[in-house]
Structure 1
Amino acid sequence: MDERMKIMETAVSFVDSGRFFDELDALVQRQTVSTNTADGFEMKSYLEEMIAPRLGLMGFENTLHPNWNDGSNSFLVARRVESPELPTVLCYGHADVVDGHEGQWDNAREPFTLTAEGERWYGRGSADNKGQHLVNLKALEILFAARGALGFNLVFLLEAGEEIGSPDLAEFAAAHRQELAADVFIASDGPRLSAQDPTIFLGARGGVGIELRVDLRPDSYHSGNWGGLIRNPATTLAAAIGVLVDGHGRIKVPGLLPADLPAAVRKALEGIEVGTGANDPIIDAGWGDTTLSAAERVYGWNTLEVLAMGAADVKNPVNAIPGSATAMLQLRHVVGTDIDGLEALIQQHLDEAGFDMVTTHVIDSFPASRTEPDSPWVTWAADSLAESTGRAPVILPNIGGSLPNHVFEAVLGLPTLWIPHSYPGCLQHAPNEHMLEPIARQGLALMCGLFYDLGVRANSPFDPGNRANGF
């Protein structure tokens, strides 16, 4: 048996022994809820006491930045430099979790105690993101214990505010560009395509929140006396939305779409099936751009969704025409979409359609980013995972949801590889969040194989002459 296989078997044994479960339980017990300012001590303690010491045992130099720049986010940067001639990896994870929803978990489970039921390990943060960054940390520890070195340089960045939008992360990265300099970004968050499919995704779609409002008059007027004479804002709003996206989910404004679906993206998505999980909703035939496959629609294209809308009191309607109506929309967009001037574009389109009484307001946005699927780093990582698992991994150009990938791809200029250790049915952010034991077992083994390939086999695309950031 070769050394790589022995290290991977050590990883499998570590999970089967129950020791990985115990280590994850210790992390889950720290109530690092980022929406609760009272948990600031727990957050600092998690970074300072739970993560930094174990990195220190591998010779990392740790720097904690609590409440950086007097903001709401804290950062831990750990660095291990073995040689300037070796490749450097930037890893990432987030210490914070969402609210525990105590009292809402099945079988009286406690959110901040890891509970095993069959193959499911229940606990807040088990999937998002403590279990995932623990897999990567433990893989590094196993490799280091076996060889006394990694064979590459490593920077590990943990933040404490991903669940509240990663405040100041982009600014922190820009201000610490040299400290975070690397050749490739490797991290784990979000879900695999399915529990059975090892997955690499390369970025995330962006999002723009849009408010449409029709505010016509301060009072409501009797529908019998005034119906047909005064404009109804709810009717107007529904029609205005139809100008932007039709009743079958197809975007009607060319400026809200990317120019095209790149050939490399189309090729990467060939044959990928979406919605095959036992608890996934049934995909509606005829919804969205049916010239694209389901995978292309959610991973390679844009969608405009109505998240909420209302006028008057829907639960207690009266015989009156309301004075105003509001809708909240969201554009999920891929790289290649021009979102500059989006508010003016939508307003112009509504004005030209005769809906100048509808006002448009962009309320928030986050950018799209991805590494191109034909990057040599993607090929290298896919080959490593295929060797470790015996099957080709799924490669997604980006996930349909959001992650701060743009910080690493655009701000730091790195090829980004996300290798998730969770699945779509993990119930993250909800009661009964859980990690699957088989994914933990396989994930730890394949990360050991990946890091071994980078540091021992030295078969990555790393070329010191092509370094953009230096080190």
Structure 2
Amino acid sequence: MTRDAAIAAATRQFDERGFFADLAALVARPTESQDPARHEELGLYLSEAMVPRLTGLGFDCRLIDNPDPRGGPLLIGSRIEDPALTTVLTYGHGDVVRAQTDQWRDGLHPFRLTAEGDRLYGRGAADNKGQHLINLTALEAVLRVRGHLGFNLRIILEMSEETGSPGLAQVCRDHAADLSADVLIASDGPRLQAGVPTLFMGSRAALSFDLAVDLREGAHHSGNWGGLLADPAMLLVQALACITDGRGQIRVPEWRPAGVDAALRAALADLPVIEAGGPEIDPDWGEADLTPTERAFAWNSFAVLAMSSGVPEAPVNAIAGRARATCQLRYVMGTDPDDILPALRRHLDRHGHHAVCILPRDGDPVAATRLMPDHPWVRRVAASVRDTTGIAPHLLPNLAGSLPNDCFAGILGMPTVWIPHSYRGCCQHAPDEHALASLSRQALQVMAGLWWDIGEHDARR
């Protein structure tokens, strides 16, 4: 009954290929939440794959119908050993993005786990089936060695994260008592560098929307009508150009954070933003007075995700009647999510772009979250990770990407510590998604050590 024994048990599960077999079974389930035809698969993932596993670990489980018709079902489970003990909430999502089957490399299939060298290919291997499987496998190892956890554990699994987590916030409100805990400890997203564990404690939020110029039905000959009919594409690009300047610095006043305070700047100072194998950053892009790390984690960023006018794949000599761009703002704490689109409307009107319509794409905007590295729970988790790996983890106040952390930090009011088990080159949301075998093996050890340490802490109080 030792910490080392629990870590060794988790390691054996990987080395003897038990983890691979379990992950292969989960990857084989085509849980594409973006495809309405897969809706039944979302429920089966919970009822057939997760409920038996969790009940075998001593959890009381129940399936929750999503209050939002756009979303899939959810699972809430609890293993309460003693109400006086620390209670941890954990989270995962079993849905995946569209398979994109025809775009995967020869020899690979999104719903077949394939090992090649250090890579484990399969849709969900990194996002998020592999990550919550690691946490549950490590939990099993602790129970196998110690016979109990030494703390209480609650879990919520959703099946709609890849469509914006519709209904999750309402479920957290409706079932707050069943989800109450001292801390959220969960896994999603990537490490900053594959070889160094990362803890992040919040996330930027994201809001997507369309900008559209709709002037007339159909297209008209550019020779007969050029110079007489307004071009919607030109109106649209001029509107886009007033949102940022030539280096991408945001010009909408309400979209600009108040600044980067000294504590946040210090927390970000030594964190890497570039990883081997990733694209080279453009040093003259983004907020000029900030470091690249501060631009990614402490500031807002605007992007045009897609745009069209006419028929790009088969252009003709005609002035289109419509133009459209899908845009996104990633934003940090201090940005009022309810004022993002109204502020943009005011800004466009000030610049004379009255013909541009703003069309929301997401549901209600959510708040960005952040927790600083000096929080007691961050220090506890970081110390455990360091004891297991011998490596001081990167401590990131908030992720540059987005996940539904406000449901836990805001609605449920608890500190949140995320321990990602993937890396930035994993091709999540793209063909050839994969996890790293070496990283997964280390992550099993990290989580077994952490679950052990949480129980050991309560035993010593």
| TM-score range for the pair, normalised by the shorter chain length | over 0.9
Could you say what secondary structure the match of 1:340 adopts? helix
Letter in 1 for 2:385: L
The equivalent of 1:466 in structure 2 is none
Aligned pairs, number: 459
Q: How far did residue 227 of structure 1 move?
A: 5.0
Distance 1:226 1:352 in 2: 29
Greater Cα shift, 444-453 or 112-121: 112-121
Q: CA deviation at 1:131?
A: 0.9
Q: How does 1:313-332 map to 2 (within 5 A)?
A: 313-332=311-330
Equivalent residue runs for 1:27-42 within 5 Å: 27-42=26-41
After superposition, the CA RMSD in angstroms is 2.4
Equivalent residue for 1:292, pick from 290, 293, 315: 290
CA distance in 2, matches of 1:224, 1:97: 48
For residue 24 of structure 1, what is the aligned residue in structure 2? 23
Is the partner of 1:178 in helix, strand or coil?
helix
Written as runs of structure 1 = structure 2, the 5 A alignment for 1:358-373 is 358-364=356-362, 366-373=365-372
Relative to the length of structure 1, the TM-score reads: 0.90
Q: Which moved more, 1:332-341 or 1:227-236?
A: 227-236
What's the counterpart of residue 249 of structure 1?
248
1:94 is displaced (CA, Å) by 1.2
Which residue is equivalent to 1:86? Answer: 85
Q: Report the secondary structure of 1:93's partner residue.
A: strand
Distance 1:320 1:48, change over 3 A: closer
Instruction: Tell me how far apart the structure 1 counterparts of residues 31 and 318 of structure 2 sit (CA, whole Å).
Output: 48
After superposition, the Cα gap between the structure-2 partners of 1:145 and 1:306, relative to the gap in structure 1 and judged at 3 Å, is: same
Asked if 1:335 is matched to 2:333, the reply is: yes
Aligned match of 2:300: 302
* Offset, 1:353: 2.1
Report the TM-score when normalising by structure 2.
0.92
Structure 1 residue 186 displacement after superposition: 0.7
Q: Which has the higher mean CA deviation after the structures are superposed, 36-45 or 324-333?
A: 36-45
> Deviations 1:53-80 (Å, cap 9, x if unpaired)?
2222232211122455766421111111
Per-residue deviation, residues 210-266 of structure 1 (Å, max 9, x unmatched): 332333444656555665565443333222222211121111122112222243332
Query: Does the CA contact (< 8 Å) of 1:209 and 1:330 recur in 2?
Result: yes
1: distance between equivalents of 2:37 and 2:140? 32
Secondary structure (helix, strand or coil) at the match of 1:404 reads: coil
In structure 2, the residue matched to 1:399 is 399
Could you list the structure 1 runs, at least 4 aligned residues long, displaced by more than 6 angstroms after superposition: none
Give runs of aligned pairs for residues 21-420 of structure 1, distance below 5 A.
Answer: 21-66=20-65, 72-218=71-217, 223=222, 227=226, 231-278=230-277, 280-364=278-362, 366-373=365-372, 374-420=374-420
Which amino acid in the other structure matches residue 429 of structure 2? H
Q: Which residue does 1:469 correspond to in 2?
A: none
Amino acid at match of 1:437: A
Once the two structures are superposed, residues 86-124 of structure 1 have per-residue CA deviations (whole angstroms, 9 ceiling, x without a partner) of 110011111222333334432322322222111111122
Whether the 8 Å contact between 1:68 and 1:75 is mirrored in structure 2 is: no
Equivalents in 2 of 1:67, 1:345: separation in Å? 32
Shift of the 61–260 alpha-carbon distance from structure 1 to 2, 3 Å rule, reads same
Contact 2:204 / 2:400 at 8 angstroms: preserved in 1? Answer: yes
Aligned counterparts of 2:120 and 2:244: Cα–Cα separation in 1 = 41
Distance 1:239 1:427 in 2: 33
Distance 2:316 2:67 in 1: 52
Residue type at the aligned position of 1:277: A
Q: Do 1:273 and 1:294's aligned partners in 2 also have CA atoms closer than 8 Å?
A: no
Summarize deviations over 1:381-421 as a string: whole Å, max 9, x none.
11211121111111222222221111111111111111011
State the distance in 1 between where 2:419 and 2:371 align. 15
Deviates more, 1:216-225 or 1:2-11: 216-225
1:148–1:102 CA distance, 2 compared to 1 (3 A): same
Identify which range, 240-249 or 258-267, moves more after superposition.
258-267
Bigger mean CA deviation after superposition, 146-155 or 391-400? 391-400
Whole-angstrom CA distance in 1 between matches of 2:127 and 2:298: 24
Distance 2:231 2:297 in 1: 38
Q: AA paired with 2:180?
A: A
* Distance in structure 2 (CA, Å) of the matches to 1:113 and 1:325: 40
Asked if residue 441 in structure 1 is aligned to residue 435 in structure 2, the reply is: no
Aligned mates of 1:15, 1:209 — CA distance in 2: 39
* Cα 1:294/1:319, change in 2 over 3 Å: same
CA deviations over 1:283-303 (Å, ceiling 9, x no partner): 112011131111111111101
What residue identity is the alignment partner of 2:287?
A: D
Per the alignment, in what secondary structure is the counterpart of residue 341 of structure 1? helix
Q: What amino acid sits opposite 1:304 in the alignment?
A: F
Deviates more, 1:207-216 or 1:441-450: 207-216
Change (3 A) 1:180 1:25: same
Q: 1:359 to 1:165 in 2, by over 3 A?
A: closer
Distance 1:109 1:334, change over 3 A: same
Contact 2:274 2:280 in 1 (8 A): yes
More displaced 10-residue stretch of structure 1: 436-445 or 302-311: 302-311
Is the deviation greater in 349-358 or in 379-388?
A: 349-358
| CA distance, structure 2, for counterparts of residue 185 and residue 252 of structure 1 | 36
